[in-house]
Amino acid sequence: MPKSKNLLTKATLLMVSSLALFSCTNDDTEEVISNTQLEEAAIDDSFSYNTLKEFDLKVTVLDSESKPAKFVKVKVFDTGANNPDALANINAIASGVTDANGVFSTHVTTPTFMEKLVVQAGIIGVVNSQQITLNQENIDITIGGEVLPETITDKRANNFIAGTNATYDYIGTYINNVGINGGLPNYLNFDTPTYTLNQGLLDDINASLPEGSPLPSTHPEYIVPSAQTNLALSDSAEVWVSFIHEGAGYRNALGYYTYPNGNPPTNPNDVTKHIVIFPNASYQGAGGQMTSGMRVQLPGVDPLDGSNIFPAGTTVAWFLSADGWNGTDVDDGNWLVYSNENLNPQSDPNDRVQTVLLLDEDRDLLLLSFEDILRPGGDRDFNDAVFFVEASPWTSVDTTGLPPITISDTTDTDGDGCRDDVDDYPNDATKCSNNYFPSRTVYGSLAYEDLWNKQGDYDFNDLTMGYRINQITDADNNVTYIEGDFVVKAIGAAYHNGFGFELPITPGAVSSVTGHSILNTNLVDLAANGVENGQTNAVIVVTDDVSALTPASGFINTVDGDAFTFIDTLNISIALSSPVSPATLGAPPYNPFLISNSTRGREVHLADMEPTDLADLSLLGQGDDDSNAGIGRYYKTSNNLPWGLLLPGEWGHPIEKNAINLAYPNFIPWAVSGGVANLDWYLRTIPNNVNETYIWEPTP
């Protein structure tokens, strides 16, 4: 039974923190632990110090006609903020492509403190992202699908109304009695458009404006100063604008203004009439009432004359009020962006382009799109608000300077069923998508005490290892390769320790392993495919001696006042013999362990993780270890303290001889709660989580 917690006074805590804790030496009899808070914490026997949770995810992606959207890239982001511009700065933790039925299935691992995720599908014409709550082991969602529009009447452009302020006029009335999610025009046009909003057209839009991909990288030719962004009419014409897509967190308002060809405004004050087309260009169910294909006829230069005709020699230009719908009408929002880039506020002329206008010559159509965040900010994918522009007769449109739309390419160079445009490895048929954990730019942390089966000083810096795992999946979203980057952050030990991990697959399921550092073949015996011999499961020994990865000696990056010592990173590449489902592999980094003091049988695992076949089982349950294989209890003391910790993020390890609870005051409350409270106890960005006095930092 767990012991009762002893609540210490501040004076007692100061006394405890001042006790001399011996560091790890070759004579492990000198190691003493004297930390009353840790020893008497009431930690339940069942607590395993788990910082990860796992779930199965199934995503069905449908197009705007509720048909399966196949070969669509799906990404899972570790954020609760369903904001496309925010997602641009976040790395996906899982990704893959939909199959012929529009389905993407995978197994996802997150930190236990994560309550929500965002799933995004790379498809235009539907609400393409969804927030999910992590409250079950199997999550099944649908993204996209046909949405029935609100019931409206066709009032066209004969009910022009002046705005309630001096800046904005409106083509007609709109719904403003439902609050912030209103703004639907009552003047939609229901005549048959010149285009058909089919999958082929949507694919071309996707190719031109890929979701989350910066346009300066994918199509820099679209945003050069010479590119035309306005509709110049050489003859008189009627003009229509259709809402197609929005990928924004804002409730944006679209409008137009006009001027004679070749005589653009030189400053915003020259734009005397801002005519609103769509007061709130937001999807129904995502902040507005719009659905793809909603169409408006523009009422001409003078909306009051009732002609709907723009005279020859007129330029129709565009503006977007970013987050300009306020629930009642349109205001300036966060800022206005104009298609005449000289009117935009950025000081750098290269950042002033906020609008793209593309020519679809085959369909007699223009694609109008905006970046609603002032550049150089935002995701710069220019699909925050996307529209079609039609003109009749089409011959009245001056197409000079209009960049052509990009025709979607269904090429699959490697023939793996994963099209090149969604394939992270277009020339390798065994690979399609990267799946990094914790993420592409963030390392997780492993922290060990190496004196097992005796207690240590609990500074958890005898070995601090950073890890980043990439599970590369094929077109069927099964894992074919595992790439692991391991960087030693600290060595607070005199022992020469090794490090490895066990996969829940047979040795024969591995084709090859490269990148490990094995110096003593008498200690670690490798098979021809690079896994360790004598094991039931595939065991990869990353290194048999972490100390050999640096020319420095002694304690490294743990002693207060020491300078930083660089330690090599090991890049492990594992090719699997045949694809394996992510659910079979489980949570990276799987079953990691330390090999203590160059003794192969002395493995140190995370709490309640089983030893491998080559561990010396006679050491279990001896010394301070209270393992009991019969009930699946491993690597914990009788007080339920561990020898290893896994943290899915960057971690600042304690200074030598300073126990973890001094550096991280919420460690004990987390453990005592059984992992229910203080789930983010190790994050330094959370107030009151860390006492920086006890965290090692290098001397400048």
The three-state (H, E, C) secondary structure of 396-445, written as one string: HEECCCCCECCCCCCCCCCCCCCCHHHCCCCCCCCCCECCEECCCCCCEE
Lowest mean pLDDT among 56-65, 80-89, 184-193, 438-447: 80-89
With a pLDDT cut of 90, the percent of the chain lying above it is 70
pLDDT, mean over the chain: 89
Q: In the prediction, which pLDDT does 84 show? A: 59
Token pair, residue 675, equals 């992992």
Q: Which fold has domain 52-146+411-422?
A: Immunoglobulin-like (2.60.40)
Instruction: Spell out a b/e string for 661-684, using b for 16 or more CB atoms within 10 Å of the CB, else e.
Output: bbbbbbbbebbbeebeebbbbbbe
Over residues 54-68, the mean pLDDT reads 92
Q: Are 8 and 477 in contact (CB under 8 A)?
A: no
Does the structure show a pLDDT above 90 at 92?
no
Q: In the prediction, which pLDDT does 149 show? A: 55
Q: How far is CA 642 from the centre of its chain?
A: 31
Q: In the prediction, which pLDDT does 2 show? A: 36
Over residues 69-92, the mean pLDDT reads 75
Q: In the prediction, which pLDDT does 64 show? A: 81
With a pLDDT cut of 70, the percent of the chain lying above it is 91
- Cα 496 from Cα 477, distance rounded (Å): 39
Which parts of 263-333 fold into alpha helices (H)?
none
Cβ-based neighbours of 377, under 8 Å, separated by 6 or more = none
- Cα 515 from Cα 543, distance rounded (Å): 9
Question: Nearest-CA neighbor of 92 among 132, 120, 62?
Answer: 120
pLDDT band at 356 (very low <50, low <70, confident <90, very high): very high
Question: Nearest-CA neighbor of 367 among 401, 425, 406, 333?
Answer: 406
CA distances from 214 to 95, 220, 277 (A): 19, 9, 27
- Sign of the CA dihedral running 105, 107, 110, 112: positive
Highest mean pLDDT among 78-92, 146-160, 475-489: 475-489
Rg (CA), the chain: 31
Residue of 526 and 126 predicted with greater confidence: 526
- Cα 463 from Cα 495, distance rounded (Å): 10
The H-or-E segment that residue 337 falls in is: strand 335-338
Number of H helices, E strands in the chain: 8, 30
Q: In the prediction, which pLDDT does 161 show? A: 55
- Cα 204 from Cα 64, distance rounded (Å): 15
Over residues 23-44, the mean pLDDT reads 64
| Full-model pTM | 0.83
Domain ranges of the chain: 10-42+442-694, 52-146+411-422, 168-398
Q: How far apart are the first and last CA of the chain?
A: 47
Each residue of 273-283: pLDDT tens digit? 899 999 999 99
User: Helix or strand or coil: residue 618?
Assistant: helix
Each residue of 223-235: pLDDT tens digit? 988 899 999 999 9
pLDDT band at 249 (very low <50, low <70, confident <90, very high): confident
pLDDT band at 424 (very low <50, low <70, confident <90, very high): very high
pLDDT band at 124 (very low <50, low <70, confident <90, very high): confident
- Cα 98 from Cα 105, distance rounded (Å): 8
